[in-house]
Copies of this chain bind each other. A is one copy, B any other.
Amino acid sequence: MKLEVQKKNLIEELGVHLEGDNLAPLAARILSTLILSGKKGVTFDELVCQLQAGKSTVSTHLDHLQNSNRVKYFTKPGDRKRYFVIDPNLILNVMDEMIDKWEKEKKLHLKIKEYKKQCNCEAEETGDFQFDLDFQEDFLTFLEETSTAVKKFKAKLLVRNN
């Protein structure tokens, strides 16, 4: 199959997939395009044209993508255009986000565990425990272990890249 056709199909497929992470359709298409366009970068106008989108839309979404450390740009001397590329640390940033989210989740579930314990204490005399603390326990271990797995891999990457 011709490379251009392949690219268009992949942009769409990856785009749909990326929408899963709370990205607006067009934001997902932008990111997808950048992922599939490589180091040479894509300009603002190219994005507007290729995605058939409004300038304002592209501008806003590019802002978002840059603020969330997914996208960067570089310039060429004597050329006012910006060449957008995916942030070279994208994987690391994604991992950091995951770790962060799990960290928050852990704190929340510790609070919940506390609450459940208190509830079970109150029901002591009746012997009618409301909560199975195993669930909470398991979930916390789950978050812990998954977190460390990602952290380890992150460390490995960092060592290798230096």
Contacts and interface: CB of A to CB of B under 8 A. Distances in A.
Main secondary structure of the interface of A (DSSP, over half): helix
Copy total for this chain: 2
A134 B104 CA distance: 31
A64 to B, nearest CB: 17
Contact of A138 (B22, B91, B131): B91
Interface of A: 3, 6-7, 10, 13-14, 17, 20, 22, 35-40, 86, 88, 90-91, 95, 101, 104-105, 108, 111-112, 115-116, 118-119, 122, 129-132, 135, 138-139, 141-142, 145-146, 149-150, 153, 157
| 6 nearest A-B pairs in the assembled complex, by CB-CB distance | A149-B149, A38-B130, A38-B131, A145-B153, A91-B138, A6-B115
